[in-house]
Amino acid sequence: MNIIEAKNLIFSYKSNTHEKVVLDNLNINIEKGSFTAIIGHNGSGKSTFAKHMNAILLPSGGSICVCKIDSKDEERLYELRKSAGMVFQNPDNQIVATIVEEDVAFGLENLCIEHEEMHKRVEEALKAVNMYKYRKRAPHLLSGGQKQRVAIAGVLAMQPECIILDEPTAMLDPKGRREVMDTILSLNKEKNITIVMITHYMDEAAKADRVIVLDKGKVILDDTPQNVFEKEEELLSLGLSVPHSTELAHRLRKSGIKIDRAILTPEDCAKEILKHKGNSYD
């Protein structure tokens, strides 16, 4: 079943003098339970696409449906946003309350949910992002990664089918990035929440099931991370890179070391190198 269905999706910004096409006839379906990463250089249309999945922007042409709800259906806007929660880059802009658990409850307050149910959802959401022990803390005193996990908990408490994350780790240090990535992976694998994540870190994209590469508002590549990152030259020509381990494996291959499979992680790379112990590389 598809959670997101973009059909001939077009979006353009119009001024008096010209029209700038930002999404150029996108056809993208995202399956329930999947983890999709969207990459592309600056200005390729990633954020614009993400904003369509949450009806922050509406198509200039074509359509996008989220859980079968057309984003143009004003009467079901709230339902759509409840199904597909959005997490943005800057955690500071997403925090509204002075205590962590109140912040997570904020979105629920508009839903007229009973106090007991609200309490249960907040507790579950904070446990799912591993922030339960910080529930009484002031959010502004948390680290970037912790704040971002609180923002994710706020979305989770709404019990969405899908979470869309627009560069959620861009403002975090390496520890915060790892914490947020681990949280995203566990929500996908253990709670079967569909994840769509925009990132400019190729190592993060490598952890998804599927990588979509956008360029000038069009889909250029759409495949497994293994197949996408095999195309190093094409990615370089688009102003992108590949995960560090993939790059190392490509270089080893060029220098004559036989590495048959696609390499995405340091562990895979280390295993391949060990296999060649005893040859000239040693």
Residues at the site binding ligand ADP, with contacts judged by CB under 6 A: 13, 20, 22, 40, 42-48
Q: Phi, psi at residue 71, to the nearest 5°?
A: -65, -15
Q: Of 46 and 76, which CB lies nearer to ligand ADP in the complex structure? A: 46
**Minimum distance from residue 13 beta carbon to ligand ADP (Å):** 4
Single-letter amino acid, residue 276: H
Q: Of 44 and 245, which CB lies nearer to ligand ADP in the complex structure? A: 44
Helix (H) or strand (E) segment spanning residue 208: none
The end-to-end CA distance of the chain, in Å, is: 49
Q: Of 108 and 198, which CB lies nearer to ligand ADP in the complex structure? A: 198
**Minimum distance from residue 14 beta carbon to ligand ADP (Å):** 9
Q: Of 49 and 134, which CB lies nearer to ligand ADP in the complex structure? A: 49
Nearest to 269 by CA among 241, 250, 242: 250
**Minimum distance from residue 173 beta carbon to ligand ADP (Å):** 22
Q: Of 212 and 249, which CB lies nearer to ligand ADP in the complex structure? A: 212
DSSP string, 99-158: SHHHHHHHHHHTTT--HHHHHHHHHHHHHHTT-GGGTTS-GGGS-HHHHHHHHHHHHHTT
**Minimum distance from residue 116 beta carbon to ligand ADP (Å):** 41
Q: Of 44 and 54, which CB lies nearer to ligand ADP in the complex structure? A: 44
**H-helix segments, the chain:** 46-53, 77-83, 100-109, 115-128, 144-156, 174-191, 202-205, 225-229, 232-237, 244-254, 266-275
Q: Of 105 and 172, which CB lies nearer to ligand ADP in the complex structure? A: 172
Helix (H) or strand (E) segment spanning residue 60: none
**Minimum distance from residue 38 beta carbon to ligand ADP (Å):** 9
Give Cβ neighbours of residue 65 (< 8 Å, ≥ 6 apart).
Answer: 4, 5, 7, 71
Q: What is the 3-state secondary structure (H, E, C) of 169-186?
A: CCCCCHHHHHHHHHHHHH
CB 206 within 8 A of CB 226: no
**Minimum distance from residue 43 beta carbon to ligand ADP (Å):** 4
Give Cβ neighbours of residue 163 (< 8 Å, ≥ 6 apart).
Answer: 84, 85, 86, 87, 152, 155, 156, 184, 187, 193, 194, 195, 196
**Minimum distance from residue 88 beta carbon to ligand ADP (Å):** 12
**Minimum distance from residue 237 beta carbon to ligand ADP (Å):** 17
Q: Of 44 and 183, which CB lies nearer to ligand ADP in the complex structure? A: 44
